[in-house]
């Protein structure tokens, strides 16, 4: 597939299964990678998962096209803790990014409506899913 | 400038579940809408990390009361993928039967609520009466009416006896007549048409753009059904139709759900016919390597997706759940803006929102900077 080749320029495949490809993309190249997904005609983002592995926050974007699942993993250094929004290209990521932001304490740069989703607006404290 | 802001919820007579809509009105017309969720947080994603894989089967089944087996099926499928085990065919068919019966009861519940929303309470009574047949079948099969707990890692917990199958088929025979009546009623009834036709329109582009799922997507002509795309369990062996409509209004969504009930009944009958004697579960070797998996199922409300990550211990490192209503919430603006205030309850109900599923992530004690651990949650129960 053309998209896979395109993505291989920005990152590398670390797992491949039936109908599933898992990429690891360096933090700096994520914008290009997302752009190539958008250009390939995929419109559906099913989920965004986040995981705190101790050193860094891993954000995983799960894109779907029918039965094909494309997973892009981006490790974000903890001292940075910010990432560009993808809502401008994938409007379906609106809530997913808000949730990611509040639960793992990642600032989403350029999100159209930053703020809390599930937590109270005045909530202050450690993001709940940080280890 | 808006004329007025009307709050809708979090506790509203038209919606039994808590969601807070801020409706900005210009006269009678809705000009803008803002929503907030989170009134129903149960901290389940965190709790899933605190318990072992087997206990989590039961916890995931308790995320939602209406789509309980969808959640536990999705979770167990994910863990089975993690362990690399294949469950027996019989278990797959039993899972299909429970899932489809669950879809049937969920859509009947929804039909009743839609009737209630539009002031057609007779429909509510009728739908809930017929729903009893489904609940009775589920109780016969699983021992429970609402939360079924039939799944376990490696198969199902209960076998399906011959007598139960006969009773199931008998109940289906009764139900088929009733659902056929609902189908005719929805098509012909003046009130239902008046309240749902051309209300809350979503076109194909909105669905693709906002990543909407389930009957909401299918009512706008998007053929997106995980049962067909992923062919999990044994769905590829069974012959069934994916119901779609093109109009994308509340009426189309009603038609899709009513016709889906007929397909679900057919699936249950087929699955019963396909069952062959054999084991219902395999004993898994409990070794969890460091791995991450994605598991998807078609819940009554659409695509349900779990991300499960293991770290070598007997507890998952992370479980991320994206529920169907969570995905469909984004369409609220599209289905409400431009319609009148009186259409709001029907339009919202036509999404079939299930906020138990949506509000599940993590709860933190207000301001005290303390994450509630599983033990604390347990203590809370007794206070």
Torsion of CA B153, B315, B58, B99, to 10 degrees: -50
For chain A, give the percent of residues with pLDDT over 90.
45
pLDDT value for B375: 52
pLDDT (tens digit per residue) in B168-187: 999 999 999 999 999 999 99
Q: In a mutagenesis test of the B interface, which of A88, A92, A103, A123 is the best target, namely the one with the most B β-carbons within 10 Å?
A: A92
pLDDT (tens digit per residue) in A58-68: 999 999 988 89
> Is B10 exposed, middle or buried, given 0-12, 13-18 or 19+ CB atoms closer than 10 A?
middle
In angstroms, the CA A103 to CA B361 distance is: 8
pLDDT (tens digit per residue) in B48-106: 999 999 999 999 999 888 889 999 999 999 999 999 999 999 999 999 999 999 999 99
pLDDT value for B363: 37
Residue B368 has pLDDT above 80, yes or no: no
- At residue B357 the predicted structure's pLDDT band, cuts being 50, 70 and 90, is low
pLDDT (tens digit per residue) in B120-130: 999 999 999 99
pLDDT (tens digit per residue) in B4-34: 888 887 887 777 778 888 888 888 888 888 8
Residue contact B294–A69, C-beta within 8 A: yes
Which of B97-111, B194-208, B308-322, B350-364 has the weakest average pLDDT?
B350-364
In angstroms, the CA B271 to CA B236 distance is: 11
Planar angle of CA B10, B14, B19, nearest 5 degrees? 25
A66 min Cα distance to partner chain B (Å): 6
More confident position, B255 or B354:
B255
Domain B47-379, CATH 3.30.420.40 — does that match? no
In angstroms, the CA B169 to CA B51 distance is: 38
Three-state DSSP class for B56?
helix
pLDDT (tens digit per residue) in B215-224: 999 999 999 9
Residue contact B367–A116, C-beta within 8 A: no
- At residue B354 the predicted structure's pLDDT band, cuts being 50, 70 and 90, is confident
Torsion of CA A66, A72, A73, A78, to 10 degrees: -120
Class of domain A2-80: alpha beta
A28 min Cα distance to partner chain B (Å): 23
- At residue B371 the predicted structure's pLDDT band, cuts being 50, 70 and 90, is very low
Looking up tokens 């930053």 gives A114
For chain B, the domains span 47-379
Residue contact B369–A90, C-beta within 8 A: no
Which value does ipTM take for this structure?
0.94
Three-state DSSP class for A118?
coil
Measured between CA atoms, the residue of chain A closest to residue B326 is A95
Residue contact B366–A123, C-beta within 8 A: yes
Q: Of chain B residues 136-175, which have a CB less than 8 A from chain A?
A: none
In angstroms, the CA B155 to CA B55 distance is: 15
Residue in B199, B320, B293, B182 with CA at minimum distance from that of residue B253 = B199
The terminus-to-terminus CA distance of chain B in angstroms comes to: 47
Beta strands in B83-194 (DSSP E): 151-152, 155-156
């Amino acid at each position: 597939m053309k998209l896979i080749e395109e993505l291989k320029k920005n990152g590398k495949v670390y797992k491949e299964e039936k109908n599933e490809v898992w990429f690891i993309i360096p933090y700096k190249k994520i914008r290009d990678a997302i752009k190539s997904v958008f250009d390939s005609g995929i419109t559906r983002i099913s989920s965004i998962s986040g995981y705190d592995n101790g050193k860094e926050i891993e954000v995983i974007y799960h894109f779907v096209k029918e039965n094909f699942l494309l997973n892009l993993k981006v490790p974000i250094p903890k001292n940075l803790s910010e990432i560009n929004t993808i809502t401008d290209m994938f409007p379906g990521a609106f809530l997913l990014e808000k949730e990611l932001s509040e639960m793992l304490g990642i600032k989403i740069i350029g999100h159209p409506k930053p703020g809390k989703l599930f937590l109270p607006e005045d909530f202050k404290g450690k993001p709940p899913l940080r280890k | 400038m808006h004329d007025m802001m009307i709050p809708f919820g979090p506790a509203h007579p038209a919606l039994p579940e808590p969601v807070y809509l801020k409706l900005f009105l210009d006269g009678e017309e809705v000009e803008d809408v803002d929503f907030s969720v989170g009134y129903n947080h149960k901290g389940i994603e965190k709790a899933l990390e605190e318990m072992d894989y087997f206990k989590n089967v039961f916890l995931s089944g308790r995320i939602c009361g209406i789509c309980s087996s969808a959640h536990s099926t999705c979770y167990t499928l994910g863990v089975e993928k993690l362990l690399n085990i294949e469950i027996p065919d019989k278990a797959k068919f039993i899972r299909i039967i429970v899932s489809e019966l669950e879809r049937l009861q969920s859509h009947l519940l929804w039909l009743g609520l839609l009737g209630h929303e539009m002031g057609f309470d007779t429909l509510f009574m009728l739908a809930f009466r017929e729903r009893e047949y489904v609940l009775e079948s589920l109780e016969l099969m699983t021992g429970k009416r609402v939360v079924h707990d039939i799944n376990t890692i490696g198969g199902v917990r209960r076998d399906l006896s011959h007598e139960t199958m006969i009773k199931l088929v008998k109940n289906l025979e009764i139900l088929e007549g009733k659902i056929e009546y609902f189908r005719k009623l929805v098509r012909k009834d003046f009130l239902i048409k008046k309240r749902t036709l051309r209300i809350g329109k979503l076109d194909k582009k909105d669905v693709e753009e906002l990543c909407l799922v389930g009957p909401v997507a299918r009512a706008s002509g998007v053929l997106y059904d995980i049962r067909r795309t992923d062919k999990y369990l044994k769905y590829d062996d069974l012959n069934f139709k994916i119901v779609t409509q093109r109009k994308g209004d509340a009426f189309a969504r009603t038609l899709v759900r009513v016709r889906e009930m007929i397909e679900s009944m057919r699936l249950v009958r087929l699955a019963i016919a396909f069952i062959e004697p054999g084991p219902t579960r395999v004993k898994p070797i409990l070794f969890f390597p460091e791995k991450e998996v994605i598991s998807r199922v078609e819940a009554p409300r659409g695509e349900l997706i779990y991300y499960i990550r293991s770290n070598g211990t007997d507890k998952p490192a992370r479980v991320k759940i994206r529920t169907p209503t969570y995905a469909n919430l984004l369409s609220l603006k599209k289905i409400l803006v431009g319609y009148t205030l009186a259409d709001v309850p029907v339009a919202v109900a036509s999404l079939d929102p299930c906020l138990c599923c949506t509000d599940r992530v993590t709860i933190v004690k207000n301001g005290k900077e303390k994450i509630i651990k599983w033990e604390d949650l347990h203590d809370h129960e007794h206070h």
